[in-house]
Structure 1
Amino acid sequence: MKKILVPTDFSLEADQALKVAAQLAKKHDSEIYLLHMLDLPLDEVDAFSQYSELPEAMFFMKLAHQKFKKTMNQDHLKGITIHEIVDFNKTFTGITNTAKENGIDLIVMGSHGASGFKEVFIGSNTEKVVRTAEVPVLVIKNDHDEFIVNDFVFASDFKNDNKETYRQAVAIAKALEAKIHLLFVNTPNNFVTTATAKTRILDFIEGTPFENYTISIFNDETVEKGIMNFSHIIGADLIGISTNGRQGIAHFFNGSISEDLVNHAKRPVITFKI
């Protein structure tokens, strides 16, 4: 976790994500790449890239740097190496490209939470980033004076997921010094016996050394409700789920619950690409 990307529109939600990223950066001696996208028309972008004196582009660039300066003066960012990036590109494309170009290990983004995924930072682009990013994406819902994760729920069907998602989850758990709660949600329409579910989980985690975990088979009406209810019962600090590109978050679910889970969960959510 040496390189953390934080896309920002300088909103309260983006600042909350940056605050968490700062805590992680200090703990792990990481660098932060703070990215602001100027989503201008393509013809204006082309003109500006050729050092045009385009008034609109110049104005928004200066405004962005002013906001960066104000942001960088916050006390919780002192002592952290921060790379300031302003890019002219479509928001979603710019974030994913920046992550690839800079070898980013983790993307941290802010969210309004229950107000809907369309309200998430920089609109619906966040859904695209969460769904397709090659690296883990941590979605922050609230202000965290101290981002402490003791209990980390990793929900899966432990069948369709790639085992790499679990390896990534273990790496995060070790970094955060957290216990992983391996969660299988049983629903009326997709019932699996406890013995079968436990065997499936043990087969899934085989080959990835990590002792600080529990196994839970939880019954509920839907997978989404099961994840949220179980997380509430144990007081989880973080929920982890998988993404599968065009099929949406957590393709192990029957139907897409990606927006609902990320929107309705009151806890931070981290996603892993299958």
Structure 2
Amino acid sequence: MKKILIPTDFSSNAMSALQYGVSLASALGEVELTLLHTYEVHSNAGMFVSVSDFMKKDAVDQVLEAIKKVEPRLQNGVTIDSQILRGNTVDLITDFARRNQYDLILMGTQGASGLQEIFFGSTTNAVLKQSEVPVLAVPAGYRYAPVEKIVLAIDEEGLSDQSLVAPLVSISKAYDAPVCVFHQSAAFDRDGIDPSVDAALSGLAHSFHYELEKEQVNESINSFVTDCGAQLLVMVRRQRGFLEEVFHVSATTRKVFSTSIPLLILKEC
């Protein structure tokens, strides 16, 4: 993992995510960080140019200030630069990450305070849905901690492509962190973890954990994360047909706003 994109709106959540990204990149080593700010101008035609110029200048000042704060913490060959773009935030983030071949988008999330439903339209969640690049969502108020254990929560479908877990493998190796693979099943004799998962994690310390279905999968994952003492949760976002999207509420989407630790979303192509 050599290129990480960190979108920012200069909020406290975004700045916490930047701090986390600097620490993660320093652990990985030789990473190019890019701080990306986007802005939109909604004004009358006669005011458009002046307003746009003002917003860009203000963004430049804030980006430079943010970089100045974190530069002393850059280690192990990590560098940081910035981009300021005008247009739709979600489209710009996802397109910029794809065109410039970033390995990861790292973003902060809003605090749900038990009302996670109202945040389903947030920028982070919209990027998660649209991005072809893996997304690492850092919960509001989360304080960086070295990754000692990783939980990979997975369903029975396994992995269609072993390269899907490349970001997970990079982080596991950087921290020498074992991976605990979690799977909830209705019946042990019929369901299980697909062998492709074991193959994809070869070379990493990993273990498999099964649980009979007794509660909502989100609650089961949260309980396992707590019991395991993990600092990173990883899930796979599946491609679904139209009808499935209409009638199926993605557990991955819900987890963005209920997990207490950073969540890495690996998107299946």
Where on the TM-score scale, by shorter chain, does this alignment land: which range?
0.7 to 0.9
The total of aligned residue pairs comes to 257
| Matched-pair contact (CA < 8 Å) for 1:153–1:183 | yes
Q: Percent identity?
A: 26
Does residue 1:3 correspond to 2:11, yes or no? Answer: no
Measure the CA separation in 2 of the matches of 1:269 and 1:262: 7
Question: Is 1:222 the equivalent of 2:216?
Answer: yes
- Distance in 2 between residues matched to 1:161 and 1:155, nearest whole Å: 12
Aligned amino acid, residue 14 of structure 2: A
Q: 2:148 maps to what in 1?
A: 150
CA distance in 2, matches of 1:125, 1:247: 23
> Corresponding residue for 1:71?
66
Alignment of 1:105-254 (within 5 A): 105-115=103-113, 116=116, 119=119, 124-143=122-141, 146-159=144-157, 161-164=159-162, 165-186=164-185, 191-193=186-188, 195-198=189-192, 200-206=193-199, 208-219=201-212, 220-245=214-239
Secondary structure at 1:159 match in 2:
coil
- Does the Cα contact within 8 Å between 1:151 and 1:181 map onto a contact in 2? yes
Q: TM-score, normalised by structure 2?
A: 0.83
Deviation at 1:127, TM superposition (A): 1.2
Distance 2:82 2:184 in 1: 42
Contact 1:140 1:269 in 2 (8 A): yes
**TM value normalised by structure 1:** 0.82
Q: Specify the alignment match of 1:17 in structure 2.
A: 17
Residue 106 of structure 2: SS of its match in structure 1? strand
Alpha-carbon distance in 2 for matches of 1:82, 1:97: 20
Name the CA distance, whole Å, in 1 between partners of 2:167 and 2:252: 19
Counterpart Cα distance in 2 of 1:82 and 1:223: 38
8 Å contact 1:96–1:133 — kept in the other structure?
yes
Does the CA-based 8 Å contact 1:34-1:85 persist in structure 2?
Answer: yes
Partner letter of residue 29 of structure 1?
E
Q: Which residue of 1 aligns with 2:50?
A: 55
Q: Which runs of 5+ in 1 are unaligned?
A: none
Q: Secondary structure at the match of 2:256?
A: helix
Contact 1:113/1:266 (CA < 8 Å) preserved in 2? no
The CA deviation at 1:264 is 1.2
**Structure 2: which 5+ runs fail to align?**
none
- Aligned partner of residue 239 in structure 1, secondary structure: strand
Structure 1: how far apart are the matches of 2:48 and 2:182? 56
Is 1-10 or 27-36 further displaced after alignment?
Answer: 27-36
- Using the TM superposition, give the Cα deviation of residue 141 of structure 1 relative to its aligned residue in structure 2, in angstroms: 1.2
Find the aligned partners of 1:117 and 1:7 in 2 and give their Cα distance: 23
CA RMSD, Structure 1 to Structure 2 (Å): 3.0
Following the alignment from structure 1 to structure 2, what is the Cα–Cα distance between the partners of residues 100 and 41?
A: 27
